[in-house]
Chain A
Amino acid sequence: MNLPSFIAKNAFRNKRRSLLTVLSISFSLLLLTMLISIWRGFYLDEPSPDAALRIITRHRVSLAFMMPIFYREKIRAIPGVLQVVPMNWFGGKYKDDKPENMFAQFGTDPEEVFKVHRDWKVEPEQLAAWQRDRAGAAVERKLADKHLWKLGDRIVLIGNIYAVNAELTVRAIFDADEAWQALLFNQTYVEEAVPYAKGRAGIFAMLVDSPDAVARISGQIDEMFKNAPQPTKTESEKAFQLGFVAMLGNVKAFILSIGLAVVFAILLVSANTMAMSIRERTREVALLKTLGFTRGSILSMFVGESVMLAVFGGLLGAFCARWLLSAAASSPAMGGFLAGAKVTAPTLIVSLLVAALVGLLSAFVPSYHASKLKIVDGLRHIG
């Protein structure tokens, strides 16, 4: 035996209480780790090299307003712009209104969309097949897997925004990151069926030649259409995605307040457990001091016990959060909303540090009092 193993034996001496403490800490740390990961995903993580080259132009007032399609060629003429593609939200109903059947559907240009999204992977022959079939669809692989779609399958989308049902055939299945679990089809299909859809675009996605050019080109585009009937707002793809997050309200404050509440709650739970555990062992503290343990060693032992339980709970919680977030991020039901949220190594370290800090703070006061206990008082203790 050595002192760390003595601390470990003490930490788990009351197995039920230790288990409940570890579980309560792990559940709290699970929440905290998820919140930190979502925060990182939304606000801190850098976009991938390809995503860093993409910018999005939309109507300045709202996404609900459309822009003229001729903006596409004007934008293309700006130096540094490599590709421009319109993306129009179709918003059709697949089968019914159940959440599991909802997914993103965009009318776009099959000739150029994969040039803007160079990180999407598609077989060349499938891409060619889609480009040839005006009623064809390209479907992201996870979405296809979820609905058991395969090449050649028919998909009917009932139009909610446009008075047309899209009857499409799966021509291509592509791989993209979790944020893009979408079905793409040729915008011409809608334009031919609904005359008022012709010549309009919801957003323009474009690829530029350098990340350094993003700010300049964004400014140039917005300046170009400043006095037009449909002024624009252009931003990086990351900023555009954050715009959706902002629609939920002050997400930063929300995450921060929930995170603080979680930490405070586990601090109280852990402090209560440690106070009980130490009070029950008052006689043992007196014994240890009689054997020659110093105040410092008693303090370290109890704090060590608490930190050990908290870190154990933290590890469990962080790994559960990792698994949960991974499942949530790849779930089509989330619509790619949590795509950027991953439990990275720095997040794991932060969570474990928070757990250790909670363990330390929660045990410090009762441990300090125990360390100052007079041996004679401790030996007289009945408990």
Chain B
Amino acid sequence: MSSMTEDLKKVATGTRSIVQARSISKVFRRDSFEVTALDKVNLDIAEGEFLALMGPSGSGKTSLLNMIAAIDQPTSGELLVLGENVFRFGDKEIARWRNEHIGYVFQTFNLIPVLTAFENVELPLLLTRLTRSERRDHVMTALKLVGLEDRVDHLPKQLSGGQEQRVAIARAIATDPTIILADEPTGDLDSHSATEVLEILKRLNHDHHKTIVMVTHDPHAAAYAHSTRDLEKGMLLPV
């Protein structure tokens, strides 16, 4: 297993792949039943790529995304993200790593209802060593990028769904992470808001060189990505 990790690290250095999955499987056990969410998936994601993961419900898209974010662990196989096997880390290290390198956008926005747009975006920055004014600069930059600099004092309930998702994207990019993971980011939005969100993701990838992995089952959304990979019954279909 360790030699496999070494090999993957060498590949990572050579090709600038920032996600390398080798034969990763995920099996959920519920009582006496076993459900295979991912079945020996091999995947490389290069730095700066905008990848869409498609597939029907239950095909394992979100499970794969969660593993890249180190919020779930494969049952078997090897996964390196930014050249690291993060599952070796302890709670504090893995939390810090996630804060520094991962920006996660959820389908249901997951904004804190008692915090304003500004404060929601500031939340991950509270864990950094940035000063108050530096945090403010980061937040305002992120909110400008998503076109919400005039909504800083608005609570989530005072925003439309599309605006909420843009705040969520601003929160995801506030720490300037290497990878943005978006799980059905347009799933709860109307077509106009969905287009706005997809344009923002495209701009983040194109102008700011963020690596983006987006889970979607919407071909229109997938069209914004450089490449698309399909999952079915936990298996990654050939390109």
Interface size on B, residues (CB 8 A): 29
Interface of B is mostly: helix
Which residue of the partner chain, among B72, B115, B124, contacts A291 with CB atoms under 8 Å? Answer: B124
Indicate if the CB atoms of B122 and A294 lie closer than 8 Å.
no
Query: If A290-B104, A375-B71 touch, does A1 touch B99 (CB 8 Å cutoff)?
Result: no
Nearest neighbor of A12 in chain B, beta-carbon distance: B114
Contact with A along B94-133 (1 / 0, CB 8 A): 0110111010101000101111001100111011000010
Does A322 touch B at the CB level, under 8 Å? no
Indicate if the CB atoms of B119 and A376 lie closer than 8 Å.
no
Which residue of the partner chain, among A283, A287, A376, contacts B66 with CB atoms under 8 Å? Answer: A376
Does B41 touch A at the CB level, under 8 Å? no
Complex alpha-carbon distance, A9 and B114, angstroms: 7
Which residue of the partner chain, among A3, A10, A292, A376, contacts B124 with CB atoms under 8 Å? Answer: A292
Indicate if the CB atoms of A2 and B126 lie closer than 8 Å.
yes
**Number of A-B pairs, beta carbon distance below 8 Å:** 65
Does B34 touch A at the CB level, under 8 Å? no
- Chain B contacts of A6 at CB under 8 A? 115, 119, 123, 126
Does A289 touch B at the CB level, under 8 Å? yes
- Chain B contacts of A288 at CB under 8 A? 123
Complex alpha-carbon distance, A104 and B122, angstroms: 67
Does A323 touch B at the CB level, under 8 Å? no
Which residue of the partner chain, among B91, B106, B112, B132, contacts A294 with CB atoms under 8 Å? Answer: B91
Complex alpha-carbon distance, A10 and B110, angstroms: 15
Query: If A9-B114, A13-B114 touch, does A379 touch B106 (CB 8 Å cutoff)?
Result: yes
Nearest neighbor of B124 in chain A, beta-carbon distance: A291
Does A293 touch B at the CB level, under 8 Å? yes
Indicate if the CB atoms of B72 and A375 lie closer than 8 Å.
yes
Show the binding face of B for A, using Cβ within 8 Å.
66, 69, 71-72, 91-92, 95-96, 98-100, 102, 104, 106, 110, 112-115, 118-119, 122-124, 126-127, 132, 171, 175
Could you pull out 7 A-B pairs where Cβ atoms are within 8 angstroms? A6-B126, A290-B102, A291-B171, A292-B95, A292-B124, A296-B91, A297-B127
Show the binding face of A for B, using Cβ within 8 Å.
1-3, 6, 9-10, 13, 283-284, 287-297, 374-376, 379
